Amino acid sequence: MTVRRDILTTALTIFWLVLSANSSSAQTSPMFWTVEDTGNWTDDNNWVDENNDNSLGFSPKAEFEEFGVINNGGTAFLATNAPDTGGIILGQFSGEVGSLEIRNGGSLVSRVGETGLTDGKVLLGTGGGEGHLTVLPGGSFTATSIQVSGSANSLLKLGGTTAGTASLTLSGGTQISRGARIIGPDVAFNTPGLLLTPTTTLIAEITGGTHSAIQVANTANLNGVLKVEFNGHAPTPGESWDIVDAGELINNFHTIDTSAVAAQDPGVGFIVLQQAGGNNGNVVRLKLDAQLLLSVDRRTGSTTINNLTPDGPVDLDAYAIRSPSGLLDSSVGWQSFQDGGQLGWQETINSDNFGLIESNIAGSRIIGPETSIAIGEPYNSPTALEEPGQDLSFEYHMAGAGTVQGAVEYTGLHNNLVLLVDPTNGESAIQNQSIHDISIDAYVVSSESDSLDAAGWVSFEADGQGDWLQNLNVGSSVLGESNIVGSRMLGATGQPIDIGTAFDFDAGGVQQDLQFHFHIADGQTMQGVVEYDGLMPPAIPGDYSNNGIVAIEDLNLVLFNWQAPGAGLPEGWVNFRPAGNVGSPELNGVLFNWQNTASIATVPEPACQSLLIGIFTIGIFSCRARIREIARNQSVVVHIHVS
């Protein structure tokens, strides 16, 4: 048979490229770990070859083109110098787990084999498995490259709280798509390049006033989550810790997770700065400092940039607000610094519903202590029930300090059913905070930590609500009831419905882990919201300004917004925004609840209705209203001064 030379050459080239790109699968001698718990890496009896032959099993050595595979759930440890290996796979396929721990005195090198068949790569979780590589203080590990992937539990862990340096040195790059934990100031992690993907969680476990920065000679591409933890150290405002030290920085962490850190004073938070400095030219620095807060009203879209701290100003020359799902309004809703006449500020040409960006190349804007700056209503809150729409991110640039990730808070009512819980006394209530009337025929509250109190719960059945029946399995882990022949209608933005002390606030081991689900009559099961900020006091009819009393502020809101659409009212109008235009129902709400400080409503008498009709004939848009007396009997006297 004759084979064309060019075809043969092409075939050999393809074979060599595949072999080079995936050399781990083409190793001449993979060695498999056999110990299911913990054993010594250097003990030849702990390894078998690919044919499961222990007589040919040896700890893997690069000189014989061998690499190690640990995928049986076991852990290999190393506390001495070991011969070089040709590569390591920890947790090879889905469902497989493998771990390597280099302890004090342990040293290992993973390198290219003598003939180049092994590549010295270290793969954690390749193929969907779960891999763990730990280098403790006093341990040293060198490899060509490391990739952390596979299971969400795959983890690269460096350092500890004991004396000694944990050393990891790579001649190639580092790619982390799962977890990495850096502990304390004595980690020497050196790599030519670093890629943190959007699924990365980099945990900085800080033990003092300094921390170990990952040393990246060339480019560090940052994504994912930076999780901050403190072990034996209480942070104070002004402290900072370097996280990454690189020749070039691309992108930034998407999220700062401080859930494991004690709450800070208002306006003080952990910010991530990108600044010139360090050993390689640029550092990513975590700092506890004044942090601008983007406050967004879920219902109205009203948005402010806030400096809450009383200690000092924040000087910024650029900011960006982003929404991956396109919930921003770059045209009418956004009132930028440029729109406000701030000298030198310009919106970028690519601002759209996915991002609002503006900058000042010649100056800056100082946001003073305890100062709030309104930027209009750029947030388009979703109208569909249950849709959270809370995907905004906020970052700003400070001259001389770099890019800072700001905080985002959402305020106001949810477009959903909400389980309100007071964690101090267990009082609970269900409230429809949405813009929709909702009829439900079942609901369930659950807790994995058994934090519910069935004895304190007041169900709809116990409250005499028609055909509602409690579920049979109610207890500390679940409360629920249903109505198979009817339903209960919860009005839009309605009052909270008391369900007793359903939260077992004083029980041992109680956790704020409640889940709330409800079923819409003739519809679907949906997940509600749980809030632990205490029960929301009932809104007072007519108290549109939400200042606790029906007074002149509320009448002014009505008169100066007469016939205006409810969707476009000023942010000072908080409660009872009308679905249509402002009109007589809103005026009645003020007049017949004048000076109320409790949820008391009065049905208007005929004489009152006639008077109100007379009021509407006055030129309301040009008037300045002053109410001198309101008598809630058979008549109401209203004096209106027309200017």
Residue 472 CB-density burial (10 A; 0-12 exposed, 13-18 middle, 19+ buried): exposed
Residues 318 and 281 in one domain: no
E strand intervals along 2-160? 29-33, 38-40, 47-48, 66-70, 75-78, 88-90, 97-102, 107-110, 121-124, 130-135, 140-143, 145-148, 155-159
Strands 438-446 and 478-482: antiparallel
pLDDT at position 166? 98
Q: Rounded to an integer, what distance in angstroms lies between the CA atom of residue 629 and that of residue 552?
A: 11
Residues 85 and 231 in one domain: yes
Instruction: For residue range 361-385, list pLDDT tens digits in order.
Output: 999 999 999 999 999 999 988 788 8
Asked if pLDDT for residue 81 goes beyond 70, the answer is: yes
Residues 55 and 142 in one domain: yes
Looking at residues 29-36, what average pLDDT do you find? 93
Element of type H or E holding 372:
strand 371-374
Q: Rounded to an integer, what distance in angstroms lies between the CA atom of residue 503 and that of residue 451?
A: 6
Instruction: For residue range 137-160, list pLDDT tens digits in order.
Output: 999 999 999 999 999 999 999 999
pLDDT at position 567? 66
Does residue 423 form part of some domain?
A: yes
Looking at residues 466-473, what average pLDDT do you find? 92
Q: Rounded to an integer, what distance in angstroms lies between the CA atom of residue 104 and that of residue 40?
A: 14
pLDDT at position 566? 76
DSSP 8-state class, residue 220: E
Strands 75-78 and 47-48: unpaired
pLDDT at position 571? 67
Q: How far is CA 571 from CA 95, 303, 545, 546, 567, in A?
A: 53, 9, 9, 11, 10
Residues 390 and 462 in one domain: no
Asked if pLDDT for residue 103 goes beyond 70, the answer is: yes
User: Tokens 């200017």 correspond to what residue?
Assistant: 643
Residue 328: domain span: 293-411
Q: Rounded to an integer, what distance in angstroms lies between the CA atom of residue 367 and that of residue 169?
A: 44
Does residue 10 form part of some domain?
A: no
> Residue 415 is encoded by which pair of tokens?
């477009």
Asked if pLDDT for residue 201 goes beyond 70, the answer is: yes
Domain boundary, last residue among 411, 440, 456: 411
Does residue 164 form part of some domain?
A: yes
Residues 430 and 573 in one domain: no
pLDDT at position 538? 60
pLDDT at position 305? 96
Confidence of residue 20 (pLDDT cuts 50, 70, 90): very low
Torsion angle in degrees (nearest 10) through CA of 546, 298, 433, 442: -160
pLDDT at position 14? 34
Asked if pLDDT for residue 618 goes beyond 50, the answer is: no
For residue 527, how far is the Cα from the chain centroid? 18
For residue 201, list its beta bridge partners. 179, 225
> Whats the size of the chain, residue-wise?
643
Looking at residues 377-399, what average pLDDT do you find? 84
Residues 429 and 374 in one domain: no
Does residue 17 form part of some domain?
A: no
Asked if pLDDT for residue 508 goes beyond 70, the answer is: yes
pLDDT at position 600? 37
Confidence of residue 536 (pLDDT cuts 50, 70, 90): low
Q: Compare 569 and 116 and report the one with higher pLDDT.
A: 116
Judged by average pLDDT, the poorest of 384-393, 526-535, 570-579 is 570-579
Looking at residues 306-312, what average pLDDT do you find? 86
Looking at residues 603-624, what average pLDDT do you find? 37
Torsion angle in degrees (nearest 10) through CA of 477, 431, 293, 574: -170
Instruction: For residue range 225-257, list pLDDT tens digits in order.
Output: 999 999 999 999 889 999 999 999 999 898 889
pLDDT at position 543? 87
Residues 94 and 203 in one domain: yes
Looking at residues 318-337, what average pLDDT do you find? 92
Give first-to-last CA distance, the chain, whole Å. Answer: 107
pLDDT at position 633? 33
Confidence of residue 544 (pLDDT cuts 50, 70, 90): confident
Q: Rounded to an integer, what distance in angstroms lies between the CA atom of residue 458 and that of residue 5?
A: 86
pLDDT at position 13? 31
**Nearest Cα residue to 510 out of 571, 456, 565:** 456
Asked if pLDDT for residue 612 goes beyond 80, the answer is: no
Domain boundary, last residue among 411, 437, 466: 411
Confidence of residue 28 (pLDDT cuts 50, 70, 90): low
pLDDT at position 263? 84
> Residue 326 is encoded by which pair of tokens?
């396109």
Does residue 18 form part of some domain?
A: no
Residue 524 CB-density burial (10 A; 0-12 exposed, 13-18 middle, 19+ buried): exposed
174 and 194 in contact (C-beta within 8 Å)?
A: yes
Does residue 342 form part of some domain?
A: yes
Q: Rounded to an integer, what distance in angstroms lies between the CA atom of residue 26 and that of residue 551?
A: 81
**Nearest Cα residue to 334 out of 345, 344, 343:** 345
For residue 257, how far is the Cα from the chain centroid? 7
Residues 133 and 233 in one domain: yes
pLDDT at position 76? 98
Q: Rounded to an integer, what distance in angstroms lies between the CA atom of residue 30 and that of residue 49?
A: 6
pLDDT at position 576? 80
Q: Rounded to an integer, what distance in angstroms lies between the CA atom of residue 541 and that of residue 537?
A: 12
**Residue 517 belongs to a domain with what CATH number?**
2.60.40
Asked if pLDDT for residue 642 goes beyond 60, the answer is: no
Q: Rounded to an integer, what distance in angstroms lies between the CA atom of residue 285 and that of residue 189?
A: 16
pLDDT at position 24? 39
Residues 525 and 564 in one domain: no
Q: What is the mean pLDDT of the chain?
A: 85
For residue 108, how far is the Cα from the chain centroid? 38
Strands 201-206 and 314-316: unpaired
Q: In what order do the strands lie in the sheet with 497-498?
A: 497-498, 428-432, 417-421, 529-531
Torsion angle in degrees (nearest 10) through CA of 446, 449, 452, 453: 150
User: Tokens 């702990």 correspond to what residue?
Assistant: 46
Does residue 304 form part of some domain?
A: yes
**Nearest Cα residue to 27 out of 118, 120, 146, 143:** 118
Three-state DSSP class for 64?
helix
Residues 483 and 610 in one domain: no
429 and 463 in contact (C-beta within 8 Å)?
A: no
pLDDT at position 23? 39
pLDDT at position 273? 86
Asked if pLDDT for residue 324 goes beyond 50, the answer is: yes
Confidence of residue 56 (pLDDT cuts 50, 70, 90): low
Interacting residues of 549 by C-beta distance below 8 A, sequence separation 6+: 540, 543, 595, 596, 597
Does residue 16 form part of some domain?
A: no
Number of compact structural domains in the chain: 4
Residues 572 and 426 in one domain: no
Judged by average pLDDT, the poorest of 64-78, 396-410, 608-622 is 608-622
Q: Rounded to an integer, what distance in angstroms lies between the CA atom of residue 298 and that of residue 489?
A: 23
pLDDT at position 640? 37
Q: Rounded to an integer, what distance in angstroms lies between the CA atom of residue 205 and that of residue 159?
A: 10
Judged by average pLDDT, the poorest of 280-294, 421-435, 592-606 is 592-606
Tell me the whole-structure pTM to 2 decimals: 0.61
Domain boundary, last residue among 257, 286, 315: 286
Residues 468 and 515 in one domain: yes
